[in-house]
Structure 1
Amino acid sequence: MRYTTIQGRTVSALCLGAMQFGSTTDAATSAALLDRFVEAGGTFVDTADCYQFWVEGGQGHESETFLGGWRRERGVTDEVVVATKLGAQPTVPGAGLEAQEGLSAKAVATAAERSRARLGVDTLDLLYAHREDPRTPIEETIGAFAELVARGEVRELGMSNHRTWRLERARAAAEANGWPRPRVLQYRYSYLQPRHDAALESSGHMHVTPELLDFVRAEEAAGREHALVAYTPLLTGAYIRPDRPLEYAYDHPGTAARLAALDEVAAEAGATRNQVVLAWLMDHEPRVVPLVGVSSLAQLDEALEATDLTLTAEQHSRLTAAH
């Protein structure tokens, strides 16, 4: 297992996504996946307070509730960092993201309390603003997050699926008021790059853009480091499964060139496409923590083996340059 640091705290360089745990992935399999991940040295798990409200019978708290039960049963405490997100849970049963709770001060305080109760913790390790709330000034949200940190209810703050200008506005608000700034960013990212003028099929997804990467690099140069966590790094199986075609946004000439380079490096390394993608991300600049969602032990083992794969500098450069 590789390791990295998130603002001084050591975590596994691979994050396990628990979105389906306790719902579309049954309890026994979910527990087995978490156990295998931890046995292999994994210490970073991701969830949200809305997972998975969109499946039949889903209420939106299944993943957090399952993780809380697993932590109690296994006696897991601070050795596993559990990140959660708030703001996207619908306020109306059966509704979608158009009815999200949002990021008002009241919504943030209420949702954080619910998450602490479900996960069975006094302090949330890492709390993200899940997605943008155009109705609430970002200053109100960051102020509410700062209060949670001041009360000892949250250790580290993050933002997910926000446009870069909102990240800058959040940074400015934190600096102006002496608040802790969100230092962990979670976005969709993989080796294949989509056209940014074509919408992704998942309306809630926001992809890493060149502007976002430039923002992270500029912030680091100014002494304000961020950790970038990348969800959907394996494109829901599209790299290796013929029954999972790539989305329309990836239908451009650069995709063929990148896949050719990917296959070359995979053959040289004796690895799968998925493993090379994860290794490329783990060696990325700026640094990236890939967040993988799995539903079987075989899928998890493939991802775990990628943490032992080290690409040469030439291989990494060749992959990056392909377009």
Structure 2
Amino acid sequence: MGGMDTSNPHIVLGTMDFGTRVSPDQAFAILDSFVADGGVWLDTANCYSFWADPSGVGGASERVIGAWLSARPGARDMVRIATKVRQNPLVPHSWPESAEGLSGRAISTGVEESLERLGVDHVDLLWAHAEDRTVPLAETVGAFGELVAKGVALQVGAANHAAWRVGRARSLAREQGVAPWTSLQLRHSLVQPRPFTPVAESGHRMLTAEDLDFARSEGLAVWSYSSLMWGSYVRPDKPLPPTYDHPGTSRVLAALDDIAGELSATRNQVVLAWLMHQGIDPIVGASRAEQIQEALAARRVRLGDEHLARFVEAR
């Protein structure tokens, strides 16, 4: 059980909107349903969601999770918590100008504040939310390794990082004798934007074939975010972004409909099954309990090689 078991991917509950767009009561219902159906991993960040919070800073999601843990005796033993440092504004409503970096001090302070909001003494996985090339990579690697040595983070990973940076960081960790990054988190879904076209969302880094090859060669776990494209697979009122408007998308969606029909599954469930078939742990956000229930049912969807080949051909 866990994000590092690449042979047995998990559906991860994304909690970005908890405490902002999703009320605490709704969040509690989603968390209860997730755990009742065997869900394990929660993904949050210290910056969630500063852009939707009147305060202009993050922390709302972690506070809601902390309140839920406090209200549910024994819940901490049933879930694993992943959080992130790097993007929280240090000055309200000032991002990215005041976004915390990845200096040793920033990492230590960020984690300390996250633990306080969560009401826990450790997190199961700590992510570097984005690169910080103003800080020597060796300093960042050392700070993450020190947190593992202290038991504050059981494992560490890199989100939105170039594969070569992660490879270099792992070499530095070996040189320093500290725990290395063992997980990658990148944006990935069945539909893909037009090649060489940047996505609109600042800071998002897309998973590439090279990233997946690197992760498999190093034995790293891979988590995907925006896995369900914010509901665009199933909601006519949420069309895919313009960068996805190309013939390949139409062909992939037609194949998706055919395969979902054959397997008596929803579009979302097939997309999640497709990700997990590749050994990827998809992060799924939810605003209602039934959405996470539908997502977790994707664990029972069995895609065959023939289905996968049809998706490849459709591209």
Pairwise same-fold verdict (TM > 0.5): yes
Q: Which letter maps to 1:35?
A: D
User: Hey, what does 1:61 align to over in structure 2?
Assistant: 59
Confirm or deny: 8 A CA contact 1:51 1:63 kept in the other structure: yes
Confirm or deny: 8 A CA contact 1:146 1:179 kept in the other structure: yes
Aligned length in residues: 313
| RMSD, aligned α-carbons | 1.7
Cα gap change, 1:124 to 1:9, in 2 (>3 Å): farther
Q: Which letter maps to 2:256?
A: L
Q: Distance in 1 between matches of 2:126 and 2:180?
A: 12
Following superposition, the deviation at residue 152 of structure 1 comes to 1.5
User: Hey, what does 2:10 align to over in structure 1?
Assistant: 13
Q: Which letter maps to 2:72?
A: R
Structure 2: tracts of 5 or more residues without a match: none
Which deviations, in whole Å up to 9, do the C-alpha atoms of 1:269-304 show, x marking residues without a partner?
1111111101111111xx101100010123222212
Q: Distance in 2 between matches of 1:267 and 1:290?
A: 22
User: Hey, what does 2:290 align to over in structure 1?
Assistant: 298
Which deviations, in whole Å up to 9, do the C-alpha atoms of 1:35-76 show, x marking residues without a partner?
000000111111000001011414300000110111111011
User: Hey, what does 2:266 align to over in structure 1?
Assistant: 272
Deviation larger for 99-108 or 294-303: 294-303
SS at match of 2:50: coil
Q: Distance in 1 between matches of 2:174 and 2:195?
A: 31
- Structure 1 residues 129-144: aligned runs within 5 Å: 129-144=128-143
User: Hey, what does 1:247 align to over in structure 2?
Assistant: 241
User: Hey, what does 1:156 align to over in structure 2?
Assistant: 155
Q: Which letter maps to 2:284?
A: V
Q: Distance in 2 between matches of 1:179 and 1:203?
A: 31
Q: Distance in 2 between matches of 1:293 and 1:98?
A: 27
User: Hey, what does 2:183 align to over in structure 1?
Assistant: 184
RCO higher in 1 or 2 (8 Å CA, sep ≥ 6)?
A: 2
Structure 1: tracts of 5 or more residues without a match: 220-224
User: Hey, what does 1:197 align to over in structure 2?
Assistant: 196
1:317 pairs with 2:309? yes
Q: Distance in 1 between matches of 2:65 and 2:110?
A: 16
Of the candidates 265, 273, 276, which is equivalent to residue 282 of structure 1? 276
Q: Distance in 1 between matches of 2:62 and 2:236?
A: 32
Runs of 4+ in 1 over 6 A off after TM superposition: 9-12
Confirm or deny: 8 A CA contact 2:187 2:207 kept in the other structure: yes
Q: Distance in 2 between matches of 1:201 and 1:165?
A: 24
Deviation larger for 43-52 or 116-125: 116-125
Q: Which letter maps to 1:283?
A: H
Following superposition, the deviation at residue 10 of structure 1 comes to 10
Following superposition, the deviation at residue 9 of structure 1 comes to 10
SS at match of 2:52: coil
SS at match of 1:316: helix
Following superposition, the deviation at residue 319 of structure 1 comes to 2.1
Q: Distance in 1 between matches of 2:29 and 2:244?
A: 34
**Identity of aligned pairs, percent?**
45
1:71 pairs with 2:65? no
Q: Distance in 2 between matches of 1:304 and 1:229?
A: 16
Cα gap change, 1:255 to 1:10, in 2 (>3 Å): closer
Q: Distance in 1 between matches of 2:11 and 2:313?
A: 24
Q: Distance in 2 between matches of 1:61 and 1:228?
A: 25
